Structure 1
Amino acid sequence: MRTLNQYIDRATDSLLGARMQVSPAIRTQLEAGLFGSVPIFLGGIFNSIAVAGIAVWRQPTTPFFIWLAVEIGLGIVRLPVLLAGRRALRNGRTPPKTTAALLSSAWAASIGFGAYFSLTNHDWVLSTIVCLSAAAMVSGICLRNFGTPRLAALMVFLALAPSTIAGLIASEPGIAIISVQLPVFILTIFSASFVLHRMMVSQMTALNDLEKSEFFNRIILESSPDYTLILNEQHDIIFCNRPNSALRDSDDLIGIAWLSLLHPSDQALGEKALAAVVRDGSANLTTRRIDPDGRMRWFDVIASRISDESGRILIVARDITHQKRSEERALWMARHDPLTGLPNRAVLQDQLDAILETDQPAAALLMLDIDNFKTINDTLGHDAGDRMLSTFAARLQAALGEDELVVRLGGDEFAILISARSDADVWSAGARIYSGLCEPFEYQGRLLACGASIGASRLGLDGGNRSEIMKAADIALYAAKTAGRGQLKLFESSMKAEVEGRETMVAAALTALKRDRVMPFFQPKISLGTSRIVGFEALLRCTGVDNQVLGAEDIKAAFDDPALCAVLSERMIERTLAQIESWLAAEVPFGHVAINLTAADFRREGFVESLLTRMKRKRIPPSCLQIEVTETVFLGRGAGYVEAALRSLSESGILIALDDFGTGYASLSHLSQFPIDLLKIDRTFVQQLGQSPEAGAISAAVINLGHCLGMQIVAEGVETLAQESALIALGCDVCQGFLYSKAMPAEAVPMVLLGQDVTPLRVHRA
């Protein structure tokens, strides 16, 4: 059954199809002719029934009664099929095409049956009526079924072919001519049907493509983010589509002059663009428009000439307001500080260059650092730091005039560019600044000082270009900070020499690190009770470019840089441990080596654990190493961690020495809080022994205090026999200094240790 249905479907498709390949949508429209034109359908049914009725009236014979009955039956059956098919098409379902095609063919065959019997019955009146009706019905078949030319051709054949046969067998000779005319007529109808079909299919295809294109273009326009306008020759808007809107919603701009929509300042630019379109075919411009609500909007406009000789112009405008604002914001951000809203370094540099291009620049540059900003940031957090920066910036702006440029350079660094014809103008500006900063501000219940150090340079006087001016102000700022902060310093040439000296120190340290010329030298520590070497202190030495040996004092500026200081310290620890390992392997009786550590070392994560691990790996006993720290490691936020680190070292068996005791800020409570084993009397007291009673009293107090706490006392910087004698009298335990020996390279240590067996060590002093 399924195979039969498929065969029927294929036969139906073939009968209702044509040679031209069409889309399914057009084919459905063509096949819909089977169910279309109800008047033609009813006219054909009624006409065929009427003609059959006339035939029965004139010739009441069986064939004509059969014909009438068939016509009535087909009419009764075909009408419901027609109506069902129309409903199916309206509802998007498949209509009964096969049934309709078979019934249409049966009806055409019935017409041919009636015509045949009319021509062979010798009733020429009836024959004339039937033939005229058949011709009319053939016309209706062609009109109604042009969409299915094969079906139309079959129906014409079924309707006229019997008349051709009847003409051949009729007794009247004149009727025979029908047998010649009808085939020609049938062929003509066939040809006309297929030609009409091709024409209609071509038109329907073109219309369908046009509808698709129009729909597609409408969708593009309605979903486009751009304004699309068409201007006539007078540049009035004759078509408009707004972004993401239906075309009918944009009619309010029709008839308005396009130039009137532009910002008044841009109308001349718009006229030039329209002239360029007429001349060159296209133009581009960026323009503005003020909306009725007062907001400014920016548009990127492309204008093109429509190539249809109409003189019309196509305008495509994209709203770039957001992009424009983003660009303006990006430009502002590129030249301003986002936290304070102040201009940044780039603005300052441009202003400096502009002023320096004048013949006599009467201006000064002030560089400012917030005093103790790092302490506030570290103790109270970054929110407090940000509040400090914002408050500082606001007070600077309030203290100065509108013509004076206030800039944030970064971090807690600010700069001010002022008009200044003399030094007095600079001092006056400084006074106004300090007056505006003098009041503390409140943050979370705390009062925070808003002080600053200021360095100033004068344009033209302290440098001829921007770089020199900024460097001079920076040097003056450094001088203000080192002089005690909270003050203003004007640049002087002597300041530059000091800074250059610091830069030379840093450069020497960096060069020594790069060339691996940082090494420990060792200064002996002498027991005053036995006059023998009990250990050494490792002191940093490095070799400069000219092979000159530099001490820590020669590169002391490098230790102000935390990162560089950490690298130097790590290199010293590494080399010292390697030397101790070498001496242990060679059984050199060096006693112990003391290494100086800074607060920065203890802030390094895992420092103590790493040190103990390396000692264990090198098999260095804890008794061979001492750690020397100054009182500064006990101060600041990291004191708790430093205490834990020192206890870890002490518990491992390493002795801890407090260096430069009495010169720093430590209190006596630190001696009991931290695990201190040795106190080192600073050289400033030792060098005044015998000359200053105060120095002797302080040294005696330190020695007595240390002994009472069970600590060993070490005096450094001993250079004379008188100093040694005084220390012996005070009960000092160990001394070191030039009286005994300068710091020496590692290879000299074994010989010095060997020589002390036969000769007093002080003979070896250099």
Structure 2
Amino acid sequence: MRQDDGVLPRWTVTRWLVECAGVVPAEIRPSLVQGLYGSLPIFLGGVFNTILVSSIVALRIPTPPFLIWAALEIGLAALRLPLLVKGSRAAQSGKRAHIDLYILAAVCWAGSVGYGCFITLLSGDWLAATLVMLSAAAMTGGVAFRNFSAPRLVMVMITLSLGPCAIAGVMSRELIMFATALQIPMYIYAMTHAAYRLNAMLVQTMRSERENGRRARQDTLTGLLNRAGLEDVITRRTDGTNSGATLFYIDLDGFKAINDTLGHAAGDQLLVKVSQLMRQVTPATDVVARIGGDEFIVFADQMNPDEACQTAQRLIDTLSCTPFLLNNTNVTVAASVGISIRSGAPCDLSALMLEADRALYDAKLTGRSRAVLATVA
């Protein structure tokens, strides 16, 4: 399980409630669910509103149904607030959040509001009924725009809170309430539709942000990391550690001649094929990047000098022995490699690359198609 998956619900019913329309990438789902924790001021405003209204109505009509409603609102608020605060903190820190209980408590709160609307409308106290229905309508606006990352949850909450109003309106046998009962389903539909539209916009925005971030860190031709992506991965990989590292700075020998002879399109094909080969022959734990032109970086765990030189030579031999079909012509390409090793010190990518670049220059200067080891720190 990924660290941020701790925010995702586990129960069948709560998973159903937070599912969105269409296909949502797995990496986006945790962010969408985390958005349910929303804004604390909006949450407090809704809770204060329903507690205040239920308490006023209970004082005005001090019968068991209304006293139960006021107690429900207070009890649910006492449950939901800690779940909100603790869950929000847990989600931000990557820990397991009690999202299932939080979602279920939100649904119960909506049901409590609907219960209050129902009993108030049937009480015949139209002043109290007006206050309760206005409060419920205001609450549903907050529900829609606070929880639109889960539009199905919005639909359920609004239906639970306003649906009983329509039922009670019909049961009241008051003509004006019949009109209200007819409008409520349309209102529920409109708010739910708005939540789905907002959700679609949110998902598309998140997709675009991730795609832009990917493009900013990835070489568009080969799919390897670029310099920015390499720095980002290495920073996260070595954060707070002094485990050391080995960097191979690779430059293709004879690439310009192939480019000039077969054309730039063939040169691009060669770069793609070389990138694929590098991915195949390097361990999955190594980081492979193209930093421009025909220059590549392989970032690996710390090796001793002999092991690093042997690794570089295997890469050189593999490249030189592999034919690449370009424009119906088999071509081979060699490589020169500069190696830099850091041990027991924080990783400085710029320093490693500078050392490896100098070693690469020496490799080119002394005959190409060879590996040269820079100083070992």
Scaled by the length of structure 2, the TM-score of the pair is: 0.57
Pick closer, same or farther for the CA change 1:223–1:154 going to 2, 3 Å: closer
Report the structure, 1 or 2, having the larger strand content: 1
The corresponding residue for 1:101 is: 103
Report the structure, 1 or 2, having the larger helix content: 2
Deviation at 1:108? 0.2
Alignment of 1:273-312 (within 5 A): none
Deviation at 1:23? 2.5
Counterpart residue identity of residue 58, structure 1: R
The corresponding residue for 1:13 is: 15
Counterpart residue identity of residue 164, structure 1: A
The corresponding residue for 1:325 is: 365
Pick closer, same or farther for the CA change 1:99–1:222 going to 2, 3 Å: closer
Pick closer, same or farther for the CA change 1:78–1:324 going to 2, 3 Å: closer
Q: Runs of 5+ in structure 1 lacking a partner?
A: 1-6, 225-240, 246-300, 303-317, 329-766
Deviation at 1:16? 1.3
CA distance in 1, matches of 2:361, 2:23: 51
| Bigger radius of gyration among the two | 1
Which of 48, 51, 54 in structure 2 is aligned with 1:49?
51
Q: Percent identity of the aligned residues?
A: 35
Pick closer, same or farther for the CA change 1:323–1:31 going to 2, 3 Å: same
Contact 1:34 1:97 in 2 (8 A): no
CA distance in 2, matches of 1:91, 1:185: 38
CA distance in 1, matches of 2:227, 2:180: 62
The corresponding residue for 1:179 is: 181
Q: Runs of 5+ in structure 2 lacking a partner?
A: 1-8, 236-291, 294-356, 369-377
CA distance in 2, matches of 1:188, 1:322: 70
Deviation at 1:327? 5.1
Which of 65, 70, 73 in structure 1 is aligned with 2:72?
70
CA distance in 2, matches of 1:90, 1:81: 14
Is 1:33 the counterpart of 2:73? The answer is no
The alignment yields a C-alpha RMSD, in angstroms, of: 3.1
Give SS of 2:166's match.
helix
CA distance in 2, matches of 1:29, 1:223: 22
The corresponding residue for 2:209 is: 207
Give SS of 2:123's match.
coil
Is 1:220 the counterpart of 2:213? The answer is no
CA distance in 1, matches of 2:229, 2:68: 65
Contact 1:34 1:100 in 2 (8 A): no
Contact 2:216 2:229 in 1 (8 A): no
CA distance in 1, matches of 2:150, 2:228: 38
Q: Which aligned runs of 4 or more in structure 1 are off by greater than 3 angstroms?
A: 215-219, 318-324
Q: Deviations over 1:683-713 (max 9, x none)?
A: xxxxxxxxxxxxxxxxxxxxxxxxxxxxxxx
Deviation at 1:115? 1.1
Pick closer, same or farther for the CA change 1:223–1:43 going to 2, 3 Å: closer
Deviation at 1:8? 6.9
The corresponding residue for 1:295 is: none
Contact 1:52 1:71 in 2 (8 A): yes
CA distance in 1, matches of 2:184, 2:54: 21
CA distance in 2, matches of 1:223, 1:14: 36
Deviation at 1:321? 4.3
Q: Deviations over 1:145-175 (max 9, x none)?
A: 1111111110000001000001101143111
**Greater RCO between the two (CA within 8 Å, min separation 6)?**
2
Q: Deviations over 1:326-374 (max 9, x none)?
A: 359xxxxxxxxxxxxxxxxxxxxxxxxxxxxxxxxxxxxxxxxxxxxxx
The corresponding residue for 1:119 is: 121
Counterpart residue identity of residue 151, structure 2: P
Scaled by the length of structure 1, the TM-score of the pair is: 0.29
Q: Which deviates more from structure 2 when the two are superposed, residues 63-72 or residues 191-200?
A: 191-200
Contact 2:37 2:88 in 1 (8 A): yes
Pick closer, same or farther for the CA change 1:189–1:322 going to 2, 3 Å: same
Pick closer, same or farther for the CA change 1:222–1:51 going to 2, 3 Å: closer
May I ask how many residue pairs the two structures share in their alignment? 237
Give SS of 1:19's match.
coil
Give SS of 2:90's match.
helix
Which of 84, 87, 100 in structure 1 is aligned with 2:86?
84
